[in-house]
Amino acid sequence: MDVLVGTSGWTYRSWASPVYAGVPQRRWLEHYASLLPTVELNASFYRWPADRTFAGWHDRLPRGFEMAVKAPRALTHARRLADPDRWGEIVGRGLRLLGDRAGPLLLQLPPDLERDVPLLGRALAAMPPSARVAVETRHPTWVHEDLFALLERHGAAWVVVSGAGLPCVLRATAPLVYVRWHGPDPDHLYRGSYPDPDLHWWADRIHEWVAAGHAVRGYFNNDEHGFAAANALRLSEILSSTGAG
């Protein structure tokens, strides 16, 4: 079944002991790839990597591994989706250099950007045609049938989220279902570790999506103390034991 679970980023200092004990930092990516089958590239949001970096990741990662890529904040936050054609070309080049290691492309919209379907439509049209695009919204006005219809027209995935103050809307708008877990703490994003009952609940949801014919990519973003990696490994274990991993 086409289900891959990983974490958002892999280079956190707090992971040195719980995840990378005894592993030199220059080998963290390879070690990560020996544990989990996918990762969400978070650093690309803050600074877009050089071409040689994307090519290097392709060479360092094993066959079958997927690196989802987060679109740069220069497009989503600084420009607020304006001038998407330029960034579509830049993003497309990075994905091509990743080759068969390229996973979905994540567009995370800023929390103060209210629903503007034509604006997002222009941005989606400018993204590389081969990209599996996923859109994470933060402003509540985006939870609307107009948005879901737009995503369906473009074959783009609505990002299902779990996190403080974020609506968890279990909606599938594309062949791909993209999930981001921002932590179980009810008051703060990115904090806490998901307990086993929560992970079993999410495993059941993933089973339902798979049964409906969807591929699933999911990334834990509760990075403190290595919780994200532990949760990803545990959810993968649950999925494997129940036939969806």
Contact 109, 138 (CB under 8 A): yes
d(CA 241, CA 94): 35
The residue type at 222: N
DSSP category for residue 193: -
In the prediction, which pLDDT does 9 show?
98
Closest CA to 9 of 24, 23, 19, 21: 19
10-residue stretch averages of pLDDT, the chain, 245 residues long: 96 96 98 98 97 98 98 97 95 98 98 98 97 97 98 98 96 98 97 98 98 98 97 98 72
What's the pTM?
A: 0.97
Output the pLDDT for position 244: 54
Set out the domains of the chain in order of their start, with CATH numbers: 3-241 (3.20.20.410)
DSSP 71: P
Q: Closest Cα to residue 132, out of 169, 106, 150, 100?
A: 106
> Residue 143, Cβ neighbours under 10 Å: how many?
14
Beta pairing partners, 69 = 41, 105
The 10s digit of each residue's pLDDT in 93-120 is: 999 999 999 999 999 999 999 999 999 9
Tell me the one-letter amino acid at 40. Answer: E
- Asked whether 106 and 69 are in contact (CB, 8 A), the reply is yes
User: Which helix (H) or strand (E) is 178 found in, with range?
Assistant: strand 176-181
Q: Tell me 114's DSSP state.
A: -
Can you name the residues that pair with 161 across neighbouring β-strands?
180
What is the phi/psi pair of residue 38, to 5°? -155, 155
**Could you give the maximum distance between any two Cα atoms of the chain, in Å?**
50
- Looking from the CA of 206 toward its CB, the CA atoms found within 13 Å total 28
Token pair 């990662």: residue: 61
Q: How far is CA 175 from the centre of its chain?
A: 15
Residue with tokens 């005894």, as numbered in its chain? 22
The CA distance from 167 to 50, in Å, is 35
